[in-house]
Structure 1
Amino acid sequence: MKLKFNPVPFIIILITFANCQNDNHNSELPHDTAFYIDYRSLTGQSDGIAVIELDPEAPNFGNISSKLELGVGVLPHHLYYNQSANKLFTTALGGSYLYQIKTEKDKNGQPILVNATPIDTGENTVGENLFFTNDGRYFMTFMGGAGGPKDGSIGVFNANNNQLIKTIKAPIQDNPNKFIMYPHGISVNEEKGLMMVTSTIHPDLTTGMGNTCTLLDLNTYELKETYQVADSPTDMSSPVEVLLLRGKFPQYALATTMLGGDIWIAPYNTTTKKYDAFTKLFDGSTQGLGWTLEMYIDDNNRLYVSFADPGKVLVFDISNLPQLKLLKTLTADKGAHHMVFFKTKKGKEVVAVQNNLLNIPNLNSGTINVIEIETGKTLGTVDLRSRYGMLPESIEGTNGPSSYMHH
């Protein structure tokens, strides 16, 4: 069953690696500052993927050098590399929901998009986020599940051949205390053998909303606990992204609430080998902020969080969690969403912010801001809406993952 849905506020872009260094800092590579974007057409033409130059110091800043059309209404959603960064994928809200993208380089080393191969997702619909593990699997959240009013599923795939191994389903009707419903965000801590997914919203935006995160065993797929991530059981906060901190970082789970506009935190409990209850760590409404979306962490214990309304990126120090220290606020456009991190050709450390939340009114600027991290100055903006008749949906590097840790 194919889901018929309105443009969905979901999100959630890109990159899924524990401790994946940013390859885009190698200035010898000719396409360091070229990026892939998923886009939707505003003119009734095919949606697809494009290559765009994002260095404001480059003469071709904002130019699209390669495009790959996926089809009308496909709505490509999030771009991901596999664990070894030699395969590129995009999830999609329509079409075949998941595609592997073939790319090549021209004679000058510039990236070219060649073709897209649909991957069979079985009964699972409305593709959201991916997470690749070191043991040859990848996991995908399907916010639509098999199409029911309280559906949602997680697909387990073989990373070598893209075959669907298993579909994880746990309807709320069967157990209202442990369930999977409208999953969007996903994060994995392989060392602990844990996976967590969010419960966000039904793809039609009206049938239902979520306010929980669910913890699963990474190997048995058993549900361990479903956590409330909201002020009350009736507060439909719509958790959208989750991040299980791992490696050298403090061992907590972080979650953003799309409709709550907040950041939540849960400590890992070494006794229960689960996470304790979530508590609110940052209240966006007290700062005039809403629609909290993406989380990225750099190598220096800094957390970057996008707030689509009014379009901000807040940078925090997470060295002393559960204390969260606000370091700076970067101003983007309405719909601030996914990010990529790189150096300009003159060596400026920048973040490029993609500003569009699936064409939701007032959250759909359709721009990409390139902001210098140190000064907060916007060095350049590409307006894809007016220039190309398209809206950017997500963004990723053309030379490997363009962030250190995303989810």
Structure 2
Amino acid sequence: MKLKINLISLIILITFSNCQNDNHNSDLPHDSSFYIDYRSLKGLSDGIAVIELDPEAPNFGYISSKLELGIGVLPHHLYYNQNANKLFTTALGGSYLYQIKTEKDKNGQPKLVNATPIDTGENTVGENLFFTNDGRYFMTFMGGAGGPKDGSIGVFNADNNQLIKTIKAPVQTNPNQFIMYPHGISVNEEKGIMMVTSTIHPDLTTGMGNTCTLLDLNTYELKETYLVADSQTDMSSPVEVLLLRGKFPQYALATTMLGGDIWIAPYNATTKKYDAFSKIFDGSTQGLGWALEMYIDDNSKLYVSFADPGKVLVFDISNLPQLKLLKTLTADKGAHHMVFFKTKKGKEVVAVQNNLLDIPNLNSGTISVIEIQTGKTLGTVDLRTKYGILPESIEGTNGPSNYMHH
């Protein structure tokens, strides 16, 4: 009898675990509640909040929990670890990286408890994270140690959050292979490689980049720095990079913030690197600028946000290097991060966080909930007006709310 009960318990546990790892979280309670990083517009503390984003819910747009991190912390990107049992946020200020403790209330509703700062050493201005399966995670620091042409990658122990190594490769030392203003990061563990972008100096004026750099995942040695721009003088500011892996065609994709374009590079099995990048989508031909985030679903559809004028373009990537535009979704100015979920009535939607660093004309401060099939906006939350805050990023409360991000 005891064996039978234990077996039933195991089945329940496995089922629940599988649901937790489901990227759309459609079978879990409160799967339309999301975490958002936010900045205060009233000179108060920045922080993280839990918000309901199902337009069909009576409490649509309601913030049920908040965690203040401090004035000027500017939390920036939310991430789960590999097992989705730890939540982190990077930050442009404050301690640059925090682990977030959460709980569930008596109704199973997510609740923010506290934030633990993580020591990032000399590394400043925290941007993106990538967790690998071998107990490490990598973090880009756009500010590096604070120099005018700085930037670094931190390597951390995922068990204890200890900084293992800081990867630096100044452009002053080698103008052909370097790390400068790194923002985006992507890893292909099977091939043992990672790539980071060179975006822009944290003050947005001192300098800009136009390259992506490929590194060995284990030795941390630089393999190649690629131009991702029309010319050496075109400061395109590549912002995100995605190394396609698994069942997808083996290419690298990059978005350019100031170029407003999507670039592609094929993997070369002989050199074990990527060949040169070429432009696969020119945003200016479509009246688009500030290409930012890339998300891929399990049906080979690529979602790319364009902050100006606030659109999400959906592409078919099943025949790369051909990129087929399927549809254009309208969000608000500053269209940036996305989450994917089903409404209570089963509609497949994408929620788009519309704000980029509070840059004028790219800072609507809203979250648009758009039905993917029809392109109809089902609801909009105006965080600027309602709460006096701007959303900086967005993530699910039951684990990652996307299939592949970077």
Q: Give the deviation of 1:30 after TM superposition.
A: 2.0
| Aligned-pair CA distance for 1:212 | 0.1
User: Counterparts of 1:24 and 1:265 in 2: how far apart (Å)?
Assistant: 26
**Alpha-carbon shift at residue 343 of structure 1 (Å):** 0.2
Deviations 1:233-274 (A, max 9, x none): 000000000000000000000000000000000000000000
C-alpha contact 2:19 2:25 (8 A) present in aligned 1: no
- Aligned equivalents of 1:248, 1:234: Cα separation in 2: 36
| Structure 1 residue 84 displacement after superposition | 0.4
Alignment CA distance shift 1:224-1:344 (3 Å): same
Q: Deviations over 1:108-128 (max 9, x none)?
A: 000000000000000000000
Q: What is the rounded CA distance, in whole Å, between the counterparts of 2:3 and 2:206 in structure 1?
A: 13
Residues 277/3 of structure 1: CA separation in 2 closer, same or farther (3 Å cut): farther
CA distance in 2, matches of 1:307, 1:44: 28
Instruction: Output aligned runs, 1:278-357, within 5 Å.
Output: 278-357=277-356
Asked whether the equivalents of residues 21 and 84 of structure 2 are also in contact (C-alpha less than 8 Å), the reply is no
Asked if the contact 1:2–1:125 (Cα under 8 Å) also holds between the matched residues in 2, the reply is: no
Q: What residue ranges of structure 2 are gaps of 5+ in the alignment?
A: none
For residues 228 and 26 of structure 2, the distance between their equivalents in structure 1, rounded to whole angstroms, comes to 42
TM-aligned CA distance change 1:284 to 1:53, over 3 Å: same
For residues 13 and 406 of structure 1, the distance between their equivalents in structure 2, rounded to whole angstroms, comes to 29
Offset from partner CA, 1:291-329 (integer Å, 9 cap, x none)? 000000000000000000000000000000000000000
Query: How far apart are 1:16 and its partner, in Å?
Result: 23
- Bigger shift: residues 24-33 or 202-211: 24-33
Q: Distance in 1 between matches of 2:282 and 2:370?
A: 24
Matched with 2:7 is 7
Q: Which residue of 1 aligns with 2:73?
A: 74
Residue 38 of structure 1 contacts residue 76 of structure 1 at CA under 8 Å; is this kept in 2? yes
Give the Cα–Cα distance (whole angstroms) in 1 for the partners of residues 17 and 137 of structure 2.
14
Once the 2 structures are TM-superposed, how far is the Cα of residue 29 of structure 1 from its aligned partner? 2.3
Deviations 1:89-145 (A, max 9, x none): 000000000000000000000000000000000000000000000000000000000
Q: CA deviation at 1:275?
A: 0.1
SS of match in other structure, 1:8:
helix
1:335-394 deviation digits (Å, cap 9, x = unpaired):
000000000010000000000001000000000000000000000000000000000000
- Quick one: distance in 2 between partners of 1:271 and 1:90? 38
Determine the C-alpha separation between the residues in 2 that align with 1:26 and 1:187: 24
Deviation at 1:6, TM superposition (A): 56
Over residues 54-102 of structure 1, what are the superposed CA-to-partner deviations in whole Å (9 max), with x where a residue is unaligned? 0000000000000000000000000000000000000000000000000
Q: Which moved more, 1:343-352 or 1:20-29?
A: 20-29
Instruction: Go from structure 1 to structure 2 and tell me whether the alpha carbon gap of 1:278 and 1:247 turns closer, same or farther (over 3 Å shift).
Output: same
Q: Is 1:8–1:203's contact at 8 Å kept on the other side of the alignment?
A: no
Paired with 2:405 and 2:79, the residues of 1 have a C-alpha distance of 11
For the structure 1 residues 141 and 15, does the alpha-carbon distance in structure 2 shift closer, same or farther, using more than 3 Å as the test?
A: farther
Contact 2:38 2:75 in 1 (8 A): yes
- Aligned equivalent of 1:160: 159
Aligned equivalents of 1:392, 1:168: Cα separation in 2 = 30
The secondary structure found in structure 1 opposite 2:18 is coil
Q: CA deviation at 1:26?
A: 4.7
- Residues 1:197 and 1:21: Cα distance change in structure 2 (over 3 Å): farther
Deviation at 1:47, TM superposition (A): 0.1
CA shift at 1:23, angstroms?
Answer: 3.0
Contact 2:25 2:401 (C-alpha < 8 Å) held by counterparts: no
Tell me the distance in 1 between the aligned counterparts of 2:344 and 2:7. 37
1:205 Cα deviation (Å)? 1.0
What's the % identity of the aligned pairs?
A: 91
Report Cα offsets for 1:138-182 as digits up to 9, x if no partner.
000000000000000000000000000000000000000000000
Distance 1:225 1:16, change over 3 A: farther
Higher-helix-fraction structure: 2
1:155 and 1:168 in contact (8 A); partners too: yes
Distance 1:178 1:8 in 2: 56
Deviation readout 1:186-243 (Å, 9 max, x if unpaired): 0000000000000000001111000000000000000000000000000000000000
- Going from structure 1 to structure 2, the CA distance change for 1:220 and 1:2 (only over 3 Å counts) comes to farther
Give, in angstroms, the shift of residue 48 of structure 1. Answer: 0.1
SS in 1 for 2:200: coil
Contact 1:18 1:246 in 2 (8 A): no
- C-alpha displacement of 1:22: 6.3
Q: Secondary structure at the match of 1:210?
A: strand
Retained in 2: the 8 A contact 1:104–1:112?
yes
Supply the distance in 1 between the matched residues of 2:14 and 2:161 (Cα, whole angstroms).
18
In structure 1, the partner of 2:195 is: 196
Q: Is the 8 A contact 2:295 2:403 kept in 1?
A: yes
Cα separation, partners in 2 of 1:29 and 1:18, compared to 1, 3 Å: closer
For 2:223 and 2:50, how far apart are their aligned partners in 1?
A: 41
What per-residue deviation string (whole Å, max 9, x for no partner) do you get for residues 10-61 of structure 1?
A: x999999999996364544221000000000000000000000000000000
* Cα distance in 2, alignment partners of residues 373 and 148 from structure 1: 43
CA contact (8 A) 1:367 1:384 kept: yes
Quickly say closer, same or farther: Cα 1:359–1:14, change in 2 above 3 A: farther
Residue pair 1:38, 1:48 contacting (<8 A) in 2 also: yes
- Provide TM-score, normalisation by structure 1: 0.95
Q: Residues 38, 26 of structure 1: CA spacing in aligned structure 2 closer, same or farther, 3 A cutoff?
A: closer
**Distance change (3 Å), C-alpha of 1:233 and 1:292:** same
RMSD after superposition: 9.2
Equivalent residue for 1:239? Answer: 238
Distance in 2, matches of 1:15 and 1:330, equals: 37
Gap change, CA 1:5 and 1:251, over 3 Å in 2:
farther
Change (3 A) 1:8 1:123: farther
Check whether the contact 2:34–2:396 (CA below 8 A) recurs between aligned residues: yes
Partners in 1 of 2:311 and 2:105 — Cα distance? 36
Distance change (3 Å), C-alpha of 1:348 and 1:229? same
What is the distance in 1 between the residues matched to 2:68 and 2:81? 22
Q: State how far apart, in whole Å, the 1-side matches of 2:192 and 2:29 are.
A: 39
SS state at 1:21 partner: helix
Larger Rg: 2
Question: Which secondary structure does the structure 2 equivalent of 1:13 belong to?
Answer: helix
